[in-house]
Amino acid sequence: MPRFSIIVTVHDVAGRLPTTLDPVLAQSFADFELIAACAAPDSPAGALVAEYAERDPRVVRVTGAREAGLRAATGTYVLFLDAGDVLTPGALAGIDARLRAFGGAGSGSEDEVEIDILRLGHERVPWWEGEPVPELFEDRDPTDVRLPVWATVYRRAFLRDHGLAFPEGRCADLGWAGLVALADGETAVLDTVCVRRPERRQIGGGPTAGTRTGLPGTGLRPQADAGPLGAGPLGAGPLGAGSLGAGLLDQVELVLDRAAGQELPEDRARALFTQLFAEVLDLAATAPRDRAFFRRAGRLYRRFRPAGHRATTVRARLLRRGAYTAFRALPALGRQAARARAYAGRSALRRRRALLYAWYLRRPLDENLAVFAAYWGRGYACNPAAIHRKARELAPHIRSVFLVKEKELPHMPGDVESVVIGSRRYWEVMARAKYTFNNVNFEHSVVKRPGSVHVQTHHGTPLKRMGVDQIEYRAVAAATGSFGKLMRRVDRWDFSLSSNAHSTEVWSGAYPSAFTHLEYGYPRNDRFYTAAPGEVAAIRERLGIPEDKVALLYAPTYRDYPRDVSAQFDLARFCAELGDEFVVLLRAHYFLDGDAGLRRAVADGRLIDVTSLRDTEDVCLASDALITDYSSIMFDYANLDRPIVTYADDWDVYRDTRGVYFDLLAEPPGHVARTQDELIRVLTSGEWADGRSAALRSAFRARFCEFDDGQAAERVVRRVLLGQPEEELPAPIPLRERLPAPAAAVARPRTPAH
């Protein structure tokens, strides 16, 4: 008979199973059996468990949930885990030592006292991979029924002798914990962290929901796979029969019915009642939408309230009285008070705008209105502009409006309807638009209305850390501000656009929410496949690029740390030492403005400053090669199948300060230079366009140009604005068959790219 039976509840989450199974099998204490309880043995997760069972005889697969695993258990002690939970290294050895030190079964002590319930130190790892939150027992009653089942060890004979079995229905963990508490077993604690649980961000609502709200509360915490109070993830739906609310009340009634048949001491009866109804009140306050749930909860409260128990909160007193209307109004009163305080602090102009926006929000959605914006209103650019152009072609019935700052109005195309951000028309179109497109987030005050559809187009493939992945990088996190506000903005997304599978994976982790991924490519990159050779020549002529020159686009990225650009990169020297064969197109950030070396290089005709041009795609088409450091422009430029040189003089600092998703120097799109002298040598020697450069670029394109084929904008318009199903969208063109626009100065035939 093994010392421990570790029962893992397996839902269809094959991707997270190794996270749980591998740490268990790697424990230094090996006297255990690992029982995987599979609800669907024919699922991918069930097949993975079968593979583990073939490799290790300690793994046993059973069909069902925790109760099935408990029936199959043969160990002296039982520990329950869910898929995704992690047993820390040395945990079983520490648990065994604690049991023996206390005098548990097998200790050999004459005064042996068997521990029936051992509470384990544990920690919840936030969904944004921030600092874990340890939960020990210095200030926590180990008999609290809200303590997690997945961080508790039970003596199997104790469970058997008391006939304890997992209750059926939702929130079964709470019912189980209550029944175990009533069995009055010998309880001890182990304050060492033995189990880590990665929390999943809980979102309610569908792809077009107006709000997506989790369920806060002491016990109703978001969890890895199943809610801590029962089988299945927690949602924010109705609380009626068959729902989370009904399941919770079923378990509360089960436990209190059992308690009523026992003569519990008054302090224990009051503690049990208080703990159970803390969960009921939390759920009722979070989603107070079901009168039947509230009435039943009130009846249970009055029926089981222990003698002498006093309601110490307003919510509890209203529940006891059955005052549903007042209970439901309570959160609204709090919100109104908060809004009143905020309103009083606003300027008169802001108050008028808020009132205006609130009035527009009362009007119905305009089913044929679409709003587009890019880079916080900095003009007609990027993916939103490309989708806007295609929408006017394929969906002319949609009124398409582009949002810009007032100073950008003179630069907008004459045939594009423009609205100034912050104006009266701005608040009207934002309130009434059925569709909204942006490559960044709209301001925090914008309301996501039910039935509206928001598409987040993004503006690059991520090399640097994004979203909540920035939390561990302090300088970047400080600049980002409130991650809670960020996630509330992310919750407005219905669709997220991806240009490759790498981006899809990053967006899923960096912005955990309920949006749907559109793996269609970036619409702004369509031009790299649709531009004709004559168009490329016209752009070069407009920019003043001589026909006999090789145009090198130099596009450095922004740094989140101090950097003396002029001292670290002598642009005038760089242009001079390249020779007459080259001309440099500078697309710089503002920190290069006014540089004396820059002015000399421009005066000598070796450099053309294209920083102010709004169409990055034109600049890319006009160039013959790209020089960049860590800018996401490299991923877009790779679509052109033209040489790319990476200048990585401060890679180590950038990587450690900003955080990155992969090692660019190990998987570059071409040659890498770590110093300016090395960069000049790569360019003047011809290495920049050699066979090795082509091979590196080919591998890079295969990974990061997966979905870009010139049809991205059409896919977005047909799916989002025209409502066409996936099978009717243009099929992706294989990479080897795509024909990117040819470079002008480097003569080569227009043949499929490899």
**DSSP code string of 452-473:** -EEEE--SS--SB--GGGGTTS
Lowest-pLDDT choice from 288-292, 347-351, 746-750? 746-750
Report the pLDDT value the prediction gives residue 675, as an integer from 0 to 100. Answer: 92
Whether the predicted pLDDT of 707 surpasses 50: yes
Whether the predicted pLDDT of 222 surpasses 80: no
Q: Find residue 419's DSSP bridge partners.
A: 403
> What mean pLDDT do residues 468-477 have?
75
Report the pLDDT value the prediction gives residue 632, as an integer from 0 to 100. Answer: 92
Residue 329 pLDDT level (bands cut at 50, 70, 90): confident
Q: What is the three-class DSSP state of 739?
A: coil
* H-run or E-run covering 117: strand 117-125
- Sheet (strand 516-519) strand order: 417-420, 399-404, 366-373, 433-438, 453-456, 495-498, 516-519
Whether the predicted pLDDT of 401 surpasses 90: yes
Report the pLDDT value the prediction gives residue 217, as an integer from 0 to 100. Answer: 29
Lowest-pLDDT choice from 244-253, 364-373, 583-592? 583-592
DSSP string, 430-458: HHHEEEEEESSPPPTT----TT-EEEE--
Residue 658 pLDDT level (bands cut at 50, 70, 90): confident
- Which percentage of the chain shows pLDDT scores above 70? 83
Residue 162 pLDDT level (bands cut at 50, 70, 90): very high
Residue 108 pLDDT level (bands cut at 50, 70, 90): very low
Burial grade of 524 (CB within 10 A; 0-12, 13-18, 19 or more): buried
Report the pLDDT value the prediction gives residue 356, as an integer from 0 to 100. Answer: 86
Output DSSP code: residue 744: S
Report the pLDDT value the prediction gives residue 599, as an integer from 0 to 100. Answer: 54
Please state, as a whole number, how many other Cβ atoms lie within 10 Å of the Cβ of residue 310: 8
Lowest-pLDDT choice from 192-196, 247-251, 282-286, 578-582? 282-286
Residue 232 pLDDT level (bands cut at 50, 70, 90): very low
Question: What pLDDT, in 10s, does the model give residues 607-632?
Answer: 898 888 878 999 999 999 999 999 99
Whether the predicted pLDDT of 566 surpasses 80: no
> What mean pLDDT do residues 569-576 have?
86
Whether the predicted pLDDT of 298 surpasses 60: yes
Phi-psi region of 456 (alpha: psi -120 to 50; beta: other; left: phi over 0): beta
Residue 219 pLDDT level (bands cut at 50, 70, 90): very low
Q: Indicate the residue type of 698.
A: S
Whether the predicted pLDDT of 537 surpasses 80: yes
Report the pLDDT value the prediction gives residue 127, as an integer from 0 to 100. Answer: 66
Q: Return all residues near 531 (Cβ < 8 A) that are at least 6 apart.
A: 621, 741
Whether the predicted pLDDT of 224 surpasses 50: no
Q: Return all residues near 257 (Cβ < 8 A) that are at least 6 apart.
A: none
- Which percentage of the chain shows pLDDT scores above 90? 57
CA 295/CA 318 separation, integer angstroms: 11
Lowest-pLDDT choice from 45-54, 96-105, 593-602? 593-602
DSSP string, 644-709: EEEE-TTHHHHHHHH-BSS-TTTS-SS-EESSHHHHHHHHHTTGGGSHHHHHHHHHHHHHH-SS-S
> What mean pLDDT do residues 187-199 have?
90
Residue 225 pLDDT level (bands cut at 50, 70, 90): very low
CA 478/CA 658 separation, integer angstroms: 12
Mean pLDDT across the chain: 84
Spell out the SS3 assignment of 360-400: HHCCCCEEEEEEEECHHHCCCCHHHHHHHHHHHHHCCCCEE
**CA triple 527-530-531, angle to 5 deg:** 75
Report the range out of 93-107, 220-234, 323-337, 394-408 with the highest average pLDDT. 394-408
Q: Higher confidence at residue 444 or residue 29? A: 29
Residue 256 pLDDT level (bands cut at 50, 70, 90): very high
Residue 236 pLDDT level (bands cut at 50, 70, 90): very low
Task: Return the CA Rg of the chain.
Answer: 31
CA 264/CA 255 separation, integer angstroms: 13
pTM recorded for the entire structure:
0.65
Residue 487 pLDDT level (bands cut at 50, 70, 90): confident
Please state, as a whole number, how many other Cβ atoms lie within 10 Å of the Cβ of residue 110: 6
**Which residue has 């090399």 as its token pair?**
463
Whether the predicted pLDDT of 214 surpasses 50: no
Residue 573 pLDDT level (bands cut at 50, 70, 90): confident
Residue 528 pLDDT level (bands cut at 50, 70, 90): very high
Whether the predicted pLDDT of 227 surpasses 90: no
Phi, psi of 262 (to 5 degrees): -115, 150
Report the pLDDT value the prediction gives residue 252, as an integer from 0 to 100. Answer: 95
Report the pLDDT value the prediction gives residue 695, as an integer from 0 to 100. Answer: 96
CA 82/CA 45 separation, integer angstroms: 13
CA 433/CA 385 separation, integer angstroms: 17
Report the pLDDT value the prediction gives residue 136, as an integer from 0 to 100. Answer: 77
Whether the predicted pLDDT of 306 surpasses 70: yes
> What mean pLDDT do residues 6-28 have?
86
Whether the predicted pLDDT of 349 surpasses 70: no
CA 452/CA 437 separation, integer angstroms: 11
Report the pLDDT value the prediction gives residue 497, as an integer from 0 to 100. Answer: 96
Q: Is the CA virtual torsion 11, 15, 16, 20 positive or negative? A: positive
Report the pLDDT value the prediction gives residue 233, as an integer from 0 to 100. Answer: 31
Whether the predicted pLDDT of 479 surpasses 60: yes
Question: How do strand 117-125 and strand 152-155 relate by DSSP bridges?
Answer: antiparallel
Q: What is the three-class DSSP state of 202?
A: coil
Residue 129 pLDDT level (bands cut at 50, 70, 90): low
